[in-house]
Homo-oligomer: A and B are copies of this chain.
């Protein structure tokens, strides 16, 4: 049997999250007061701080849940990647960004990103950082898959390229969050434009079928180190 404590804790946590989500969306992150969230969750202010280290921490908890979904959405792309680098990347980008404004507004994203940078030691900040790392690895994995299928040049360092792509996604998403006038569609367009050169460069040219000779030919593209 599960103890009373555990039950109450889960219950409190659920109510806190519900209340916080509502207030953040209704009145904005900055205007949402811990007191109101606590009241709404039927707990005392002090109790809130038994569950989350600070105001930013609960936002990062919420964002982390969303990022987990994004990770799952991306996983599908990795498992059934479209058959070209450009296409695979734009599909992945689409999965990553499409739902970004469903549960959070830009202010919330800005605050989340800012908090994770400013307070790297809090629990949910670390969780968020770890999830970011997983997304970065997911991009690398996608590139590796494409490499194994013969769409990416074999001498490419997939780790470095994957990280680079992820870093770009992250930076452009941050730009997007900072600019209230930028739409999700515009974000996607910009990101895809930005990745085109890299996507082209790491691609094995069209005329090479997927499973023929994959060695670089007349142009030596680096020493492969």
Contact = CB atoms under 8 A, between A and B. Distances in A.
B222 A197 contact: yes
Interface stretch (A33-41, A88-96, A156-164): A156-164
Task: Give the number of times this chain occurs in the complex, counting copies.
Answer: 2
Interface in A174-205: 174, 177-179, 193-198, 200-203, 205
A209 B195 CA distance: 28
A218 interface: yes
A219 B218 contact: yes
Interface residues of A, number: 44
Contact of A205 (B172, B174, B194, B221): B221
A170 interface: yes
A218 to B, nearest CB: 4
A29 to B, nearest CB: 9
Interface string A115-153: 101101000000001000000000000000000000000
A217 interface: yes
Interface of A: 110-111, 113-115, 117-118, 120, 129, 156-157, 160-161, 163-164, 167-168, 170-172, 174, 177-179, 193-198, 200-203, 205-207, 217-222, 225
